[in-house]
Amino acid sequence: MPARKPKALIVRHETAAEKSRRESGEMAMRPNRELPLNAPSRLRGHEIAEATWRRLMREFMSIEGEIVTRLDFDLLADYCILIEQIHELDAMRKTAHDRWRELLKDQSDEKVIEACDMVVKLDSRADRKRALLLQLRQSLYLTPRARAGVAPSKKEADEPKDELEMLLDDVNDFVNGGSGK
């Protein structure tokens, strides 16, 4: 079952009892410490990851509700590191692509194939990282779909019909021209 949306993201009308129940549930899961505005020590030396952390904290702090808490600390740090890794992979791919273009002019078949293979491998790694990044974005409410809460609510199973209801259905079918069963 998908996680419930935070109170701040709910746009439908709720009764006072529903609001109170949701608020008390959220408060029970809220840690005492808040997320730091500055990047944690784990991200020091990672320029892009630090910049991503600061950008995310500005965005999350500008939102009325609390979307992420201290419990999401490691997830946010992993997200920031992943952003930097994708940036590095893109830079490596550009270098490999430029090398491939140079080799095309020289007509050195073996080196051209090696350079092309390197570009393809880097593309594959970047694609896998971007897929993981999308999963993290959804977990952190950074996608429109996550914020919209499109996950369907769990449908309750219909209660089985009792014998009288089944008998009435059979009579109804017979009266309406059906064969009874």
Average pLDDT, the chain: 81
Query: Cα 5 from chain centroid?
Result: 13
Residue 108 DSSP SS3: coil
**Alpha-carbon distance 94 to 106, whole Å?**
19
Task: Give the largest Cα separation in the chain, rounded.
Answer: 86
| Secondary structure tally for the chain: helices H, strands E | 6, 0
pLDDT at site 4: 63
Low-confidence ranges of the chain (pLDDT < 70): 1-12, 26-32, 107, 149-158, 178-181
Q: What is the pLDDT of residues 85-130, one digit of tens each?
A: 999 999 999 999 898 888 888 767 888 888 889 999 999 999 999 9
pLDDT at site 154: 47
3-state helix, strand, coil in the chain (%, to 5): 65, 0, 35
